[in-house]
């Protein structure tokens, strides 16, 4: 059911106040939507490193969590007709009728020597209710990108968590 570790999602639940006895966090979550979302990067002098991507199936949504070292990167998420590898433009094929991209701006997934620091899946097919596949599509010119294959044009929500920094993308069932 979980990729990587349950600890990361448990930390996210605590951070969001989803643990019994805590303040209800449903009002803190963004609304479900189907249109483009863009947020500027947090102010800082050092660009964050994108180090992992995890995913899990929940009762009412499928969740993707992107782990970041450093400040929150900027991001854009939107539906698209096709997914492409950054830099080369090669087509990325994922299962699912609908495609979505996530672009993290002012971020990178390599160290100063050019070696990758991203340790998540490169391309993975899934059999979740909404999320059918994930792909790391690039680390190019200050932007790290991912692609998602979905069963339909599903409502989604995206938000950031801190300590540690994560970008969370939920796809409604």
Contacts of 71 (CB under 8 A, 6+ apart): 41, 42, 43, 44, 46, 48, 165
Q: What is the reported pLDDT for 42?
A: 86
pLDDT of 160 strictly over 70: yes
Q: Beta strand pairing status for 165-172 and 61-69?
A: antiparallel
Q: Is the pLDDT of residue 98 over 50?
A: yes
Domains in the chain, ordered, with CATH? Answer: 6-172 (2.60.40.3500)
Pairwise CA distance, residues 50 & 167, whole Å: 10
- The pLDDT, as a whole number, for residue 27 is 54
Q: Could you tell me the pLDDT band of residue 48, with boundaries at 50, 70 and 90? A: very high
């Amino acid at each position: 059911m979980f990729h990587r570790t349950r600890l990361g999602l448990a930390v996210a639940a605590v951070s969001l106040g989803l643990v019994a006895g805590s303040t209800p966090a449903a009002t803190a979550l963004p609304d479900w939507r189907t249109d483009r979302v863009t947020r500027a990067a947090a102010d800082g002098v050092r660009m964050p490193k994108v180090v992992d991507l995890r995913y899990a199936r929940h009762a009412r949504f499928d969740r993707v969590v992107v782990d970041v070292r450093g400040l929150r990167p900027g991001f854009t998420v939107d539906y698209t007709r096709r997914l492409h590898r950054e830099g080369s433009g090669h087509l990325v094929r994922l299962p699912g009728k609908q495609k979505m991209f996530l672009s993290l701006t002012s971020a990178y997934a390599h160290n100063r020597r050019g070696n990758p620091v991203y340790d998540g899946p490169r391309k993975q097919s899934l059999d979740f209710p909404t999320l059918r596949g994930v792909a790391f599509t690039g680390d190019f010119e200050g932007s790290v990108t991912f692609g998602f294959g979905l069963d339909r044009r599903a409502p989604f929500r995206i938000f950031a968590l801190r300590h540690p920094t994560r970008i969370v993308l939920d796809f409604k069932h």
